[in-house]
Chains A and B, each alone.
Chain A
Amino acid sequence: MCGIVGLLVKNPALRGQLGALMVPMLVGMTERGPDSAGLAVYTTPVSDRHHKLSLYSGETAVDWSELLARIAGHFAPAHEISTHGNHAVLTSAADPDLLVAWLGRHAPLIAVLSVGQSIDLYKDVGAPADIAERYGFKSLQGSHLVGHTRMATESAVTPAHAHPFTAGRDFCLVHNGSLSNPHLVRKRLEPLGIEFETDNDTEAACRFFEWRLREGDDLKTAVQRGFSELDGFFTFLMGTDAELLIVRDAFACKPAVVAETDDYVAIASEFRSLAHLPHISHATLFEPKPEEIYSWRI
């Protein structure tokens, strides 16, 4: 069992409240996922020349300013870092692939959680309320977000196994359910040069969809292809820099409910995570139908 939450604000005036609206949604899914929690938030994008990397050091204390100085010694362009304990968002004009490779060699204890121009990603083990507090989720701002609370069934409880999973740039995915053929998917993708970081079933889905996006599919087409490639139970919620998408398997094994108003689209595994939202009594409420793809753009 796991909990998923998603929120996209249509009314730009609400972007400043994105985190405050979301925290009760995430905490509301604690019973479905008490082990770990995570969140991808899509902010105003950085300039075309820049990328953002969300970095996480786990239990290792990191001197972020020292790291920044080392990065500046290897990469000429300017860098900025905003930190939150063991988490940091690094903004840089350097080639993100080179930067990620450099971090892998010179700072191997730091995990790169996401790369993109809009996405910031947080995930950790513990109760959702504690994680929300730890990283100041309440003050997050942006256009949309994808969140998850995890009750592990398929693999270990570690920050790396927590959702959201990311691949490529500005793409993330959370999953409620379990896949039965992740190893086959992985066997198919690895010869294409696609590397995996964990043995988690959701990572296989994430990397499959991101591969299809790179091959030129739009997100809906990629998901449509996934129906024949991914076997198992799923409610997937995905984010790109411009889109929020939800889809359920043919048996609708895992729950989901959507609330839509003129101001926002809110998605959760259960209504109890939506009950606090403004004007919820006037929202259009529905459950996504099996194998029907629902998406919203910012």
Chain B
Amino acid sequence: MANLKPLPKAREFDLARDSLRDLNLYLHKQAANEGVSQIQVKHPDGAHSIACGIDADLDVQIHGHVGYYVAGMNKHASVTVHGNAGPGAAENMMSGRVHVRGFASTAAGASAHGGLLIIDGDASLRCGISLKGADIVVGGSVGSFSAFMAQAGRIVICGDAEDALGDSLYEAVIYVRGKVRSLGADARFEPMTDADCAALKGLLVQSGLAHDPAEFRRVASAKSLYHWHADANQEY
């Protein structure tokens, strides 16, 4: 018995009763001080900015649908939403893991620098816009303008993509399994290398998905927008 680790201490917040500010304050400062690593959140009922700005190795389980910016700026924590997420889920995440079990609204993972965002359902328009290094795995399909101006990181789309996928991409890479309605400016399909397959396999495994990497296509930047050409007449 003596060599068993103590169970992590848990704490529950019920947002029908407790204030969102108290929850976020607890996640920012008190949880780590009290040695609590598991936090359950009940009745989120679409509130905004739940579990935003965490900078600690916490496990936050949110039971219900959330509003804007859930787990925004997340660092180190694992945040799971047992429901749908509003716009800007995990926007500007730095590290850690955010898992949306339902669907995510617009701009999921916008500008995220690191960590892993998993969306089991569909993601709406502009998923991964301006991505700066995080990984995003979408179990379903994504809306138009996803990965717009994505600079670094990887986006895995197990379903389809709507219009203008990867418009004005920089160095981020997209792996898409289904149909792509249209590619954005300067985005192109490229052959999957062994390194792509291995990286994709790793992301799929981390996300609990059993798809075969061979079913995916790679989309990356043709890099023709990297330098301005006077004779291109603004057409690229």
Residues of chain A whose beta carbon lies under 8 Å from any beta carbon of chain B: 250-252, 255, 257, 270-276, 285-287, 289-290
How far apart sit A251 and B144, CA to CA, in the bound complex (Å)? 8
A271 and B86 form a contact (CB under 8 A): yes
The listed residue (B65, B67, B125) touching A285 by CB distance below 8 A is B65
A251 and B87 form a contact (CB under 8 A): no
Task: Using known A-B contacts A252-B125, A255-B86, determine if residue A272 contacts B105 with beta carbons closer than 8 Å.
Answer: no
B35-48 interface bits toward A, Cβ cutoff 8 Å, 1 = contact, 0 = none: 00000000101111
Please give the number of chain B residues whose Cβ is less than 8 angstroms from any Cβ of chain A in the complex: 21
How far apart sit A228 and B85, CA to CA, in the bound complex (Å)? 31
Neighbouring B residues of A270 by C-beta, 8 Å: 46, 67-68, 86
Return A256 CB to nearest CB of chain B, in Å.
Answer: 10
Task: Using known A-B contacts A255-B86, A285-B65, A290-B144, determine if residue A272 contacts B47 with beta carbons closer than 8 Å.
Answer: yes
* Nearest opposing residue in chain B for A271, CB measure: B46
List 13 extra interface pairs beyond A252-B106, A270-B68, CB under 8 A.
A255-B86, A255-B105, A255-B106, A271-B45, A271-B46, A272-B45, A275-B43, A275-B45, A275-B46, A276-B45, A285-B102, A286-B103, A287-B103
* Nearest opposing residue in chain B for A281, CB measure: B64
How far apart sit A276 and B43, CA to CA, in the bound complex (Å)? 10
Q: B151 within 8 Å of A by Cβ?
A: no
A290 and B47 form a contact (CB under 8 A): no
Return A32 CB to nearest CB of chain B, in Å.
Answer: 11
Shortest 8 CB-CB contacts between residues of A and residues of B: A272-B46, A271-B46, A275-B45, A271-B65, A252-B125, A275-B46, A270-B46, A272-B67
A255 and B84 form a contact (CB under 8 A): no
Return A118 CB to nearest CB of chain B, in Å.
Answer: 31
Neighbouring A residues of B124 by C-beta, 8 Å: 252, 287
How far apart sit A250 and B84, CA to CA, in the bound complex (Å)? 22
Return B100 CB to nearest CB of chain A, in Å.
Answer: 13
B125 and A255 form a contact (CB under 8 A): no
B143 and A290 form a contact (CB under 8 A): yes
B97-136 at interface with A (beta carbon < 8 Å): 102-103, 105-106, 124-125
Return A149 CB to nearest CB of chain B, in Å.
Answer: 15
How far apart sit A286 and B47, CA to CA, in the bound complex (Å)? 17
Highest count of chain A CB atoms <10 Å: which of B65, B102, B143: B65
How far apart sit A251 and B67, CA to CA, in the bound complex (Å)? 19
Neighbouring A residues of B64 by C-beta, 8 Å: 275
How far apart sit A289 and B105, CA to CA, in the bound complex (Å)? 11
Return B16 CB to nearest CB of chain A, in Å.
Answer: 10
A290 and B46 form a contact (CB under 8 A): no
B125 and A290 form a contact (CB under 8 A): yes
B172-210 interface bits toward A, Cβ cutoff 8 Å, 1 = contact, 0 = none: 000000000000000000000000000000000000000
A287 and B105 form a contact (CB under 8 A): yes
Return A22 CB to nearest CB of chain B, in Å.
Answer: 16
How far apart sit A286 and B122, CA to CA, in the bound complex (Å)? 10
How far apart sit A264 and B32, CA to CA, in the bound complex (Å)? 44
B60-100 interface bits toward A, Cβ cutoff 8 Å, 1 = contact, 0 = none: 00001101100000000000000010110000000000000
Highest count of chain B CB atoms <10 Å: which of A250, A273, A276, A289: A289
Highest count of chain B CB atoms <10 Å: which of A273, A275, A285, A290: A275
Return B44 CB to nearest CB of chain A, in Å.
Answer: 9
Return A261 CB to nearest CB of chain B, in Å.
Answer: 15
B46 and A255 form a contact (CB under 8 A): no
Neighbouring A residues of B102 by C-beta, 8 Å: 285
